Structure 1
Amino acid sequence: MITTVATQPIAGQKPGTSGLRKKTPVFMGRHYLENFTQAIFDVVEAKGKTFVLGGDGRYFNDRAAQVILRMAAANGAARVIVGQGAILSTPAASHLIRLNKTDGGIIMSASHNPGGPEEDFGVKFNMPNGGPAPEHVTEAMYQRTTELTGYRMLEAQDVDLNTVGRSDLGGMIVDVVDPVSDYAALMETLFDFPALRALFAGGFRMRMDAMCAVTGPYAVEILENRLGAPKGTVTHATPLPDFGGMHPDPNPTWAHELMAEMMGEGAPDFGAASDGDGDRNMVVGRGIYVSPSDSLAVLAANAHLAPGYARGLAGVARSMPTSAAADRVADALGIAKFETPTGWKFFGNLLDAGKVTLCGEESFGTGSDHVREKDGLWAVLLWLNILAARKQSVAEILGDHWATYGRNYYSRHDFEAITTEKADAMMAALRDLLPGLPGREVEGMTITAADDFAYTDPVDASVSAKQGVRILFADGSRIVMRLSGTGTEGATLRVYLERYAPGPDGLDHDPQQALAPVIRAAHSLARLEEFTGRTTPDVVT
């Protein structure tokens, strides 16, 4: 029986760059998940359509899946493809949407945010191309949440999501599928699996930290089962509702166990970590950390070594806060380069139009045109393919890269849970300064330009304004500041710091030391301590 449950609008159901994220108790509150889900189905007109559904396994994932399925049936959807156990990594969900030519998908995740009864939960809609919904769609969903008076619900028993197979839910087909198999098959088409098997057979040692999150089953199947990496290569491989108490954000701060192993005696040849929903990655060599910006540049310079990219790259895109290292590779290869706002959805148009092949963000996300999301395990496999083909260490590959292109020293400093009013006041004051900054000297560096980044999409001509403050210096140094939309409380100030060394000298400094004058300039220009009371970042990457 289908019923219409009376409700009323709930304030604040406005999706950010990666869907709607709130504390789990908020999502579990009366009508909260249901209201937002109804808004999704109203905007995309669910009747007769097919969707993909899955999540990263965090707390409330299983119950939310049952609610969404019953609402999909009540709204007339024809079919939903669900990952077994309601589990799907974000890139795997994107692939299933594309592979099955569905009408989109709902992904239950708060990505790299902590999970648990008191932690974070999220829901986002991905479009038929497999990518995150663009702003005009998420805005329509938000507007719909402000006017809801009821939502449709099928009264039914829970669907068995633990068994692969087909069932009927109120006339809607529910197909429960293996969450890993189709994704693993896609990876086999992109990378030289025989060469990777030979690499591991030859004694190559690796550590992959899945951080008790969704990538574990994918990494075990591909690395250990298909490529022959020793059992135990993947650590924290079992997804847990609270991620084992870990913060599933693959950076040096939160993946500290991996960092300690890779920087210690007897370290493996290669290390990697992934995040809550499997779309981010961190790469580490023995004794050397690879920044996400450098990782994108190295992948762009060497992608042709993998079978899936032997044809060459159409172009490379990076988010504006990401270092310009990839631009230098694009220039050398004679291919297109693009600078977009933060948010993977901005890469979607470029990928769909065939203008770029690789994309990356400094926030530990890289990907290609194989899906329309960033893809952590894909990046790890491309690195492995490069290591197998070049027969060099991570440190040697980085050294060669810097010698060829110069080094863009880079770091991101995060100041978390700042009172929103204080963060907004600081950014407003900084924006007021911008017109008078060119020509000014700070910390011995001359400012050549200062603006609030605006992006005009080269495909659909849409404009995105106020995407982050940029301060550019004559020597190639750069400061970028923006407030992040991925947290669930307060504001996170992200300060991006970059300094270019053309080489051959000055390529082997510690990044924080090399960036010291840029860091001081950023704090001074933004009057960071004055506005926020902070002097030290919570996370440094």
Structure 2
Amino acid sequence: MIRTHPSTPFDDQKPGTSGLRKKVRVFQQPNYAENFIQSVFDVAEREAGSTLVLGGDGRFHNRTVIQQAIRMAAANGYGRVLVGQGGILSTPAASHVIRKYGASGGLILSASHNPGGPDEDFGIKYNTANGGPAPEGVTGAIYARTQEIDRWLDVDAPDVDLDTRGVTHVREMAVQVIDPVADYAALMEELFDFDAMRAAVKDGLGMAFDAMHAVTGPYAHEILEKRLGFAKGTVRNGTPLEDFGGHHPDPNLVHAKVLYDLMMSNDAPAIGAASDGDGDRNLIIGKHRFITPSDSLAMLAANAHLASGYADGLKGIARSMPTSAAADRVAEALGIPAFETPTGWKFFGNLLDAGKATICGEESAGTGSDHVREKDGLWAVLLWLNILAATGKSVDQIAREHWARFGRNYYARHDYEGVESDSADALMDALTGSLPGLPGTSFGPLTVAEADSFAYTDPVDGSLSENQGVRVLFEGGNRVVFRLSGTGTQGATIRVYLERYEPVGGNLDAETPTMLAEIIAAAEQIAGIERHTGRTAPDVVT
């Protein structure tokens, strides 16, 4: 029997770039998660008896919401739910499962790189049948439904045993608990030359992988240690924990400092890597050489042909607007299109589905390809390993040779976190209002060539996305970008992206802060961050 539970709307359920993210205690309110899930089910395009994929990154509150989502799916006409064992399913693995098994969509329970635990963050994201995040038209419809919802549906049924693989039934609906790693690992073996990588490992290729007590631990143990033969202990912090061991599962130089310190030491292995809470981001560090995500995208694209899955070449390269233009230079050299999109992986989905792009990336440590419709942290690590195995070169050598060929885009992102929302909005409003007067203005040695609020017209469906960040482009290929992030759960995060292009033959191995100093000073003059927020320095520099 289907049960109908009366409810009333919550006014704060507008999905951001990666779904709905709030504090756990917000999601624990009666009807809160149920309202949002029911709204998804009410607007999702699906036939009766469709398959729903369900899983998450193992953070606190995942199991509770998974059980409720199963009961609600049974009441809403789904015929089958595929759920990762233990409630575990990385974001890229969920995308693959949706695509492989022809699901109508999936719920991914994660707040990505945000902290976990009873007092920390939780999130729900809906992915559509192509395996990618719901596009803006769908998220807009979900939000509209949350604002008028008056009931949610479920069935009276006991909890499903999430820890035992196999099929059970909740009323008429089949619930299949699947191995969360097997399908994904098999896909990786199709894309990369595992024999070459195994041989390189036997010849002494070493690595350190920090899973940050998040979802990629089981995937990394299986693929890196069992299938590729890296020594036991290569994967560190490999057991997913509900609070990520009390740490922040964000693979950057602040939160992965232990790995960074190792890789900067004389005892460093050839490559160090890390992934985030839900497995879609990556950090790459060679011995004595940190690779920025923007450079990693460019270097992977330039060398992707060395992996069997990309031997026929790339159709195109796409990057988010705040990501450095390094990948554009690779695309030009390869004679393929380069696309600049707003932030948010969903904008890459149309390009991938239309066959216009093969590899995509964002400066926020997300890189992926057309094998799924999400960024994929472990995929990026494996492509780096494949390149190392195929060339016999070090990460540092690959980087130096790349810059010698293409020039170097010195790049950094400054995050001002937890800023009072009104102050952040006032800053962006003032900045936007100043745009018409900026061209031709000089800030120290830098002269503004162009300034605008970035808008994107999708080349596939013609949809327009406006106000996607403020760009200030200086003469000579340098720039600064300002935008508010949509991935936090409280206050606002102001992100400032700083980029300086040094051409071939220039100073290609200097310290990044030194090379960016003039742009940093200009950014403060242009935006007045200290005046608006009282902040004299960023909270995080990546």
- TM over 0.5: same fold? yes
Residue 17 (structure 2) aligns with: 17
Amino acid at match of 2:21: R
Displacement of 1:236? 0.2
Shift of 1:205: 1.1
Amino acid at match of 2:33: L
Q: Is the 8 A contact 1:262 1:284 kept in 2?
A: yes
1:44 offset after TM fit, Å? 1.1
8 Å contact 2:45–2:104 — kept in the other structure?
no
Matched, 1:30 2:27: no
Matched, 1:450 2:426: no
Contact 1:18 1:124 in 2 (8 A): yes
SS at match of 2:124: strand
Q: CA deviation at 1:133?
A: 0.1
Shift of the alpha carbon at 1:503? 2.6
Letter in 2 for 1:514: M
Determine if contact 1:56/1:88 at 8 Å carries over to the other structure: yes
2:73 is paired with a residue of what secondary structure? Answer: helix
* 1:103-140 CA-partner distances (Å, limit 9, x unpaired): 01010000000000000000010010000000110111
Other-structure match for 2:477: 476
Q: 1:3 & 1:199 partners in 2: Cα distance?
A: 58
What is the alpha-carbon distance in structure 1 between the residues aligned to residue 26 and residue 434 of structure 2?
39
The answer as to whether partners of 1:443 and 1:518 remain within 8 angstroms in 2 is no
Match of 1:538 in 2: 539
Partner of 2:42: 42
The code of the aligned residue for 2:72 comes to M
Give, in whole Å, the separation in 2 of the partners of 1:45 and 1:138.
Answer: 12
Equivalents in 2 of 1:101, 1:443: separation in Å? 56
User: 2:131 matched to 1:118?
Assistant: no
Which residue is equivalent to 1:486? 487
- The equivalent residue for 1:439 is 440
CA distance in 2 between counterparts of 1:316 and 1:529 reads 36
Letter in 1 for 2:165: V
- The equivalent residue for 1:261 is 262
Paired with 1:266 and 1:107, the residues of 2 have a C-alpha distance of 38
Paired AA for residue 520 in structure 1 = A
Q: Which residue of 2 aligns with 1:297?
A: 298
What is the alpha-carbon distance in structure 2 between the residues aligned to residue 497 and residue 45 of structure 1? Answer: 41
Paired letter, 1:393 = S
Partner in structure 2 of residue 96 of structure 1: 97
| Deviation for aligned residue 1:265 | 2.5
Kept after mapping to 1: 8 A contact 2:205/2:270: yes
Q: Is the 8 Å Cα contact of residues 263 and 288 (structure 2) preserved in structure 1?
A: yes
User: Structure 1 stretches of 5 or more lacking a match?
Assistant: none
Residue of structure 2 equivalent to 1:57: 58
The equivalent of 1:279 in structure 2 is 280
CA distance in 2, matches of 1:139, 1:383: 37
Deviates more, 1:376-385 or 1:40-49: 40-49
Residue 417 of structure 1 pairs with residue 418 of structure 2: yes
**Which residue is 2:337 aligned to?**
336
Any idea what SS the aligned residue of 2:499 has?
A: strand
SS at match of 1:537: coil
Query: Could you give the per-residue CA deviations for residues 20-71 of structure 1, whole angstroms, max 9, x where no partner exists?
Result: 0000011111110111010010011564211100000000101110000000
Q: How do residues 45-444 of structure 1 correspond to structure 2 at under 5 angstroms?
A: 47-444=48-445
Residue pair 1:349, 1:459 contacting (<8 A) in 2 also:
yes
CA apart distance, 1:445: 1.0
The one-letter code sitting in structure 2 at the alignment partner of 1:291 is T
- The secondary structure found in structure 1 opposite 2:33 is helix
CA drift of 1:149 comes to 1.0
Q: Counterpart amino acid of 1:11?
A: D
8 Å contact from structure 1 (residues 298, 401) kept in 2? yes
Alignment-mate amino acid for residue 230 of structure 1: A
Residues 234-266 of structure 1 show CA distances to partners (whole Å, capped at 9, x for unaligned) of: 000000000001100000011111011111231
1:15 counterpart letter in structure 2: P
Unaligned runs of 5+ in 2: none
Secondary structure at the counterpart of residue 294 of structure 2: helix
Cα distance in 1, alignment partners of residues 435 and 261 from structure 2? 41
1:17 Cα offset (Å): 0.4
Query: Deviations 1:68-106 (Å, cap 9, x if unpaired)?
Result: 000000111111111111110000000000000110101
Question: How far apart are residue 451 of structure 1 and its match?
Answer: 0.2
Letter in 1 for 2:421: T
User: How many residues in Structure 1 have an aligned counterpart in Structure 2?
Assistant: 541
Q: Is the 8 A contact 1:413 1:494 kept in 2?
A: yes
Say if 1:103 and 1:128, in contact at 8 Å, map to a contact too.
Answer: yes
In 2, Cα distance between equivalents of 1:434 and 1:529: 19
CA distance in 1 between partners of 2:95 and 2:414 (Å):
30
- Over residues 277-307 of structure 1, what are the superposed CA-to-partner deviations in whole Å (9 max), with x where a residue is unaligned? 0000000000110000000000010000000
Query: Aligned partners of 1:474 and 1:524: how far apart in 2?
Result: 17
Inter-partner Cα distance in structure 2 for 1:287 and 1:230 = 22
Q: CA deviation at 1:505?
A: 2.7
- Structure-1 separation of matches of 2:434 and 2:225: 54
Of stretches 46-55 and 12-21 in structure 1, the one that deviates more from structure 2 is 46-55
Q: Structure 1 residue 415: deviation in Å? A: 0.3
Provide the identity percentage.
64
Is contact 1:210-1:274 (8 Å) kept? yes
Determine the C-alpha separation between the residues in 2 that align with 1:11 and 1:58: 25
Mapped to 2, the partners of 1:264 and 1:118 lie a distance apart of 36
Find the residue that maps to 1:412 and give its secondary structure: strand
Cα separation, 2, equivalents of 1:340 and 1:509: 29
Distance 2:465 2:426 in 1: 21
Does 2:493 match 1:495?
no
Q: What is the DSSP-based 3-state SS (H/G/I as helix, E as strand, rest coil) of the residue aligned with 1:504? A: coil
Normalised by the length of structure 1, the TM-score is 0.99
Look up the equivalent residue of 1:448 and give its one-letter code: A
Q: Scaled by the length of structure 2, what TM-score is found?
A: 0.99
1:352–1:45 Cα change, 3 Å = closer
Matched residues in 2 for 1:9 and 1:157: separation? 27
Runs of 4 or more off by more than 3 Å in structure 1? none
Letter of the 2:134 partner, please give it. A
Deviation at 1:10, TM superposition (A): 1.1
Distance in 1, Cα, partners of 2:414 & 2:337: 29
Whole-angstrom distance in 1 between the partners of 2:506 and 2:7: 65
RMSD: 0.7
Distance (whole Å) between structure 1 residues aligned to residue 2 and residue 189 of structure 2:
44
What SS is found at the alignment partner of 1:515?
helix
